Structure 1
Amino acid sequence: MSFAPSRSSADPLDDALTAAVGAVSSRVAAIAASNPVVIIDGRSGAGKSSLARRLVAAWPGRSRVQLVALDDVYPGWGGLADGADYARDTILLPHAKGTIGVWRRWNWEVGERAEAHAVDPSLPLVVEGAGILTPASATLADVRVWVDAPDASRKDRALRRDGETYRPHWDLWAAQEDAHLSEHEPQALASVVVFLP
């Protein structure tokens, strides 16, 4: 399933996110499970976090939804692949097995893992972040989303969000994203492809 944003709105990004939430919510509702798993991947600034937050707010059902952002998991600026593997092993795999997953937040200031967080396998789960959609993680998710956007829009959004903290690391992070796309072809693994302006 793939769709592009409307071109007639005064706020095309808002409209595209609304449409994307509707598309993903429909997939979630069709699963008819009490604890579905959604993973959302895409390059930096594509709109993954915005989509994930809106999806959780509009979740089709009464359950409390657990949201994990890989920005809290990556072990530093060079850790895209390691963070995605860590999330698969400590969050997605336990959830799929029906056991409690425990992950530890990465403290970017001190460069080490910090407090632990539990993931309840009885509740729905949304995991978002660059690198999360791989062949190994795809089998652990009910809905797999790839978010795409033009390079200029992505960079503008990412640097407005994270400012000068991110700017020196943009090229390093982009190279890791390139490696992920080349090795795993996440868009081909997605059940929903979202294009944001």
Structure 2
Amino acid sequence: MSSAPSRSSADPLDEALTVAVGAVSARVAAVGAANPVVLIDGRSGAGKSSLARRLVSTWPGRGRVQLVALDDLYPGWDGLADGARYARETILLPHAKGTIGVWQRWDWETGERAEAHAVDPSLPLVVEGSGLLTAAAAPLADVRVWVDAPDRSRKDRALHRDGDTYRPHWERWAKQEDEHLVRDEPQTLASLVLCLP
């Protein structure tokens, strides 16, 4: 009898993420640039952060890859659209122009911007977060990803991850995501749509 784990006992999310990373990596490799930009959008709990971290850790190119999460940029629980605009202005536009971008982390406890971080335009860049794919941001990326997942799975993952900190704000944040879906139609701007369990 084999000691290898059976396929049925494997984690479906883990398997789906492995396939998803392969799909995104293939798109990145096809770009053929030394400093490609990947944007990953999707609703809360869809798997954006997990996908982004795995992509960076198995990057198809050489050298360092920069990763920015919009969770570090949103100016509070009502800041989905403002965080996405801030990312475009301070990170994506400078990167596209070949200049160093500088963004400041949002301190959720003090309610203000904190330490500054630089983004090197000569290096690859992965940015992930809800609200990211807009008509203004899409042209600044080489690979644009929309991540989808069932509502129940998303909510379970998000609340398991952030627990009581997020629970009172779930509906408030979901409303902003709904507005983003209607206003920006991010799925139509994506070059790759991924569905996770």
Q: TM-score range by the shorter chain?
A: over 0.9
- In 2: Cα distance, 1:122 partner to 1:136 partner: 22
Secondary structure of the corresponding residue to residue 130 of structure 2 = coil
Deviation of 1:63 after TM superposition, in Å, equals 1.9
Specify the alignment match of 1:121 in structure 2.
Answer: 121
- Cα pair 1:34 1:63 within 8 Å, conserved: no
Structure 1 counterpart of 2:4: none
The two structures have a TM-score, normalised by structure 2, of: 0.95
What letter matches 2:133 in structure 1?
L
1:98, CA displacement in angstroms? Answer: 0.2
For structure 1, the residue ranges without an aligned partner over 5 or more in a row are 1-6
The 2-side partners of 1:79 and 1:115 are apart by 19
Aligned: 1:96 with 2:96 = yes
Q: Does structure 2 retain, via aligned residues, the 8 Å contact 1:9–1:15?
A: no
CA positional deviation for 1:58? 0.5
Report 1:6-155 matches (<5 A).
Answer: 10-155=10-155
- What does 1:153-168 correspond to in 2, within 5 Å? 153-168=153-168
Return 5+ residue gaps in structure 2 as ranges: 1-6
**Matched residues in 2 for 1:63 and 1:91: separation?**
19
> Per-residue displacement from partner, 1:64-86 (whole Å, max 9, x unpaired)?
00000000000000000000000
Secondary structure of the 2:81 match is helix
| Cα shift at 1:8 | 6.0
- SS of the equivalent of 1:166 reads helix
Q: Residue in 2 aligned with 1:3?
A: none
| Cα offsets for 1:27-71 (capped at 9, x unmatched) | 000111000000000000000000000000010011200000000
Aligned residues: 191
Q: In the alignment, which residue of structure 2 is the partner of 1:195?
A: 195
How does the TM-score come out when normalised to structure 1? Answer: 0.95
Q: Provide runs of 4+ in structure 1 moved above 3 Å.
A: none
Alignment-mate amino acid for residue 66 of structure 1: Q
CA contact (8 A) 1:146 1:187 kept: yes
Percent identity of the aligned residues? Answer: 81
